[in-house]
Amino acid sequence: MNDASMPQGRVDRLSALIDRFRISACVLGSALPPGEPAHLLLTGDETLDENEPLVLRRLVFRVDGTREGCRLQGRLAVAARVDLGGPGSPLATALPEEVCIDLAEAPALAAVAAVLHEEVTSPRCGGKAIVDRLCEIVVIRFLRHAIETGQARDGLIAGLGHPQIMLGLVAMHEAPERRWRLEELAGICGMSRTAFATGFRRTVGQTPGAYLQAWRLCLARQEIARGGVLKSVAGRVGFSSASAFSRAYSRQFGQPPSDHARVGFSSA
């Protein structure tokens, strides 16, 4: 559990999310194959010397992966297909439809993007085995940058960027099964009960209780689709009974958990 006195820079805001909703990437190369969706696009400017490599300038991330409305500035350097954790992943739903980052303003992100570009354009021994892993690192660096620079006005990304609210979010992410009380979460954030409740709703767009329930159900849906036993899943994500879990699940997703258990993620 994170202590409220821990400096913001030492609080890991992403690991609990990534552990539950694993990021994966598939690099498509330096051109877009016909009909292939692409979520992550690195673009750059040609240099005056034709022997010099392309200079990376921008990273564009599109959640839906389609090309419509995506006007790239400069020449495409790397395109990749990215999965932020499967259907209903909170990482995917928290991001704006499109985020464009000037790499000159994000040196840490630019550094790993440059390594990825080098591996794609100048393949060497073992390159095929590492480009997708490098792209996953680029995506994680992108998420860090999105949080730290306030790329979202509200929602999860905005909450994780808030110096106090993010402590409560991390606590819920790390221990969803715990019977959290509002005053406990407020104390973790170093805020009064009222200030926390008001600030959380203003920043995240939901009450702390509503967010916690949605997070629990999101985790449960993932476990059920992977074959988890309903009663066991209900307890692991913090519901006191299978019947209470089933009612909440049906309200959230419009189907009882038994339906998703039969069809997995294909219904998402």
- Secondary structure of the chain as H, E, C letters: CCCCCCCHHHCCCCHHHHHHCCCEEEEEECCCCCCCCCCEEEEEECCCCCCCCCEEEEEEEECCCCCCCCCCCCEEEEEEEEECCCCCCHHHHHCCCEEEEEHHHCHHHHHHHHHHHHHHHCCCCCHHHHHHHHHHHHHHHHHHHHHHCCCCCCCHHHHHHCCCHHHHHHHHHHCCCCCCCHHHHHHHCCCCHHHHHHHHHHHHCCCHHHHHHHHHHHHHHHHHHCCCCHHHHHHHCCCCCHHHHHHHHHHHHCCCHHHHHHHHHHHC
Low pLDDT (below 70) residues in the chain = 1-9, 46-51, 67-71, 260-268
Per-domain residue ranges for the chain? 8-148, 159-267
In this prediction, residue 6 carries a pLDDT of 40
| Residue 3 CB partners (closer than 8 Å, separation 6+) | 188
As beta bridge partners, residue 82 has: 25
Q: How far apart are CA 184 and CA 238, in angstroms?
A: 16
What CATH number labels 159-267? 1.10.10.60
Contact 252/217 with Cβ under 8 angstroms?
yes
* CB 147 within 8 Å of CB 186: no
Q: What is the pLDDT of residue 7?
A: 42
Condensed to tens digits (0 to 9), the pLDDT of residues 45-90 reads 866 566 677 889 999 999 988 755 456 778 899 999 999 998 778 9
Short-list 221, 237, 263, 227, CA closest to 85 = 221
Residue range 147-178, pLDDT digits in tens: 999 998 889 999 999 999 999 999 999 999 99
Confidence at residue 268, expressed as pLDDT on a 0 to 100 scale: 37
